[in-house]
A and B are shown apart, each in its own frame.
Chain A
């Protein structure tokens, strides 16, 4: 009997942990009507007259915390032909999205504004063409490309061919030659 108690306790704890995993993620299939006041406050440059402006309102949290919305973002990224210019994040006609360089900012609000407003030299404006919740889904997918999203949300391995993993997920290392040591000059 004595040995049963720890066993039943362990079973109980396991069941409780299993319960926690239920409803890990709720899919919002009918998003609330759009309210993009975020566009009025997004700043794409660090320069402004006078004091620093107030911080932009926080973007909706759901899209960065839901694996479903990231995978939907990936589907839309393909279907709306973002891949036509940005490839699968590696860039081509448009800048790459899987590196650390962000011309117009890496915050969700900034990427949202870039998609909705368009940017000079080729990025079209998708205002009214892509519903707001889908823009947020694409934003979360774009941010996942460079490892800005938590690992439990972004797919661990992409469906596409990658030359190398994003820089952020590589350990810092000093460049070395083939022999392990840069050759000393004579």
Chain B
């Protein structure tokens, strides 16, 4: 049945269209939290104030207080740079290494490519959190160790993605033309392939930041990452464990923050994905 290109199937408006502005607002808030927490947070995130412990949300303390009387909202604001900062660092480091690795593998082709990809496959066989636990045990706790172990887990995803793209783009006419002209493989990689790959990678980076954040907070929750009194979001939730049965705000707000950030990164990533050509 030939229906011409102006095919009239009724498409419902994509939900992303409505959510994207919300996601961008969240993004703006996070940027503010990360860069200028001092301007936003009304209280000191670290100083104890035992007379105010475990107070429910109020105008003075929008997210309530924790067991040390500290304002939860302020702690959340200051925590952004730890939780989100580490997540971003992890994703960028993994992406950097993964992209280089994948690009080289794809361009090399043949047996070297095979071997390099086998190594990548190997990494996919390891369960992430468990390995992170082992690495933290071995190398000591702290956000640095968390960053390292999560980077080790994340980079193969980028390697595979980029190598796939490189292989696909190698077959494109403009690349073949360049080869025929005797352009070196390295220059081909830089000029003809990487620009296209970068778009894909950007989409993945955006969505991965959300996932990395969840992973970082999970490790902190287990006690591998940050230490008290750092207001890292996962740590906040860990600290809330003895109290959250009655002090619900202690659990809800840090978690909601994580969730909102992860969802926003997912939405923005999807929006980027649908915008790229083809």
- The answer to whether A and B assemble together is no
A contact set with B: CB distance below 8 Å: none
B contact set with A: CB distance below 8 Å: none
